Amino acid sequence: MAIGRPSPSSSQTPDPGAARRTSRARGIPEATVARLPLYLRALTALSERSVPTVSSEELAAAAGVNSAKLRKDFSYLGSYGTRGVGYDVEYLVYQISRELGLTQDWPVVIVGIGNLGHALANYGGFASRGFRVAALLDADPNVVGSTAAGLPVRHMDELEDIVVTQHVSIGVITTPPGAAQQVCDRLVEAGVTSILNFAPTVLTVPDGVDVRKVDLSIELQILAFHEQRKAGDEPSAGDSVLDRAPGPVRAAAAKLRRAAGGGKAADQAKSTPAAKGAKGPDDDLSAVMPA
């Protein structure tokens, strides 16, 4: 870190600091909050089918979670169930909606109306809950004229005005990564205190501002990791034997790595032929280590 101020808090989706801070008040765990929308969706579906009550077991199955977890989650909201019967669907829908703040209207601005911004603007499920697109914003004059989902794309100049007059507290960023921090700063400066970031960048925001990120690339990489595992491999490494060994050997290896500038090319070349024989987590250190 560099800064010495209280705490710039570059909070992101998995920020446990925010958890303590935000759920301190009435003590709803962050993990529970993240599941409430899931329950709500399942409940809404039941509601539409006019199902009057539902047991924790059924609802848990519909939401894809453990029933004990679901009951504990609900217990944080209060005791809304009836033993021997289950939960009243309509009542629970309302309670969760209220807890999530969906009984009020949340105006949202989307900044960066390119491919993704367009898709989001057109997204119906957006408004289905209390979210209303207050404005679409872009910096490109060619885009500013157009409309998306019936809404006009407005110029960035109007950002501050829109945020203030429409009381926008949630901003969605779908600009290229290079512009994201700058856009974020302007949003925050104007009064936005929650940001949903689709750009692959770590945003730094002041305390009190929440940032959540949606990152396709990260998700795919996580899947790739597990996929590789399933393929029954060991990554055919080029390390460990040396790196795991304590003593001066490791130091030597590290030194060589640093010295041999092009670690990338060298290692890459090595990785392919590594149809490895058998042993260790990996084998051939030889390629890196011109022993």
Ligand X SMILES: NC(=O)c1ccc[n+]([C@@H]2O[C@H](COP(=O)([O-])OP(=O)(O)OC[C@H]3O[C@@H](n4cnc5c(N)ncnc54)[C@H](O)[C@@H]3O)[C@@H](O)[C@H]2O)c1
Query: Considering only residues 99-138, where is the footprint of ligand X by CB under 6 A?
Result: 111-117, 119-120, 122-123, 125, 138
- Backbone φ and ψ for 2, nearest 5 degrees, come out as -130, -45
Among residues 110 and 241, whose Cβ is nearest to ligand X? 110
Tell me how far, at minimum, the Cβ of 138 lies from ligand X, in Å.
5
Tell me how far, at minimum, the Cβ of 109 lies from DNA, in Å.
29
Return the one option of a copy of itself, DNA, ligand X, none that residue 156 interacts with (CB less than 5 to 8 A, by type). Answer: ligand X
Place of tokens 């990152």: 215
As a dihedral over the C-alpha atoms of residue 102, residue 191, residue 163, residue 101, rounded to 10 degrees, the angle is 0
Return the one option of ligand X, a copy of itself, DNA, none that residue 148 interacts with (CB less than 5 to 8 A, by type). Answer: none
Question: What distances in angstroms separate CA 110 from CA 116, 196, 197, 217, one per listed residue?
Answer: 10, 9, 10, 21
Which residues are near DNA by CB under 7 A?
14, 16-17, 19-20, 29-32, 55-57, 65-69, 71-72, 74-75, 79-87, 246-248, 250-251, 254-255
Residues in a beta bridge with 110: 136, 172
Q: Which among 46, 56, 111 has a CA at the least distance from the CA of 82?
A: 56
Tell me how far, at minimum, the Cβ of 201 lies from DNA, in Å.
20
Return the one option of a copy of itself, ligand X, DNA, none that residue 229 interacts with (CB less than 5 to 8 A, by type). Answer: a copy of itself
Q: What is the DSSP string of 248-269?
A: HHHHHHHHHHHHSS-HHHHHHH
Rounded CA-CA distance 170/175 in Å is: 16
Which residue among 65, 151, 170, 179 contacts ligand X (CB under 6 A)? 179
The residue number whose beta carbon is nearest to ligand X equals 114
Give the distance from CA 287 to its chain's centroid: 38
Neighbours of 188 (CB within 10 A): 21
Residues that bind ligand X (CB under 6 A): 111-117, 119-120, 122-123, 125, 138-140, 143, 156, 174-177, 179, 182-183, 198-200, 216
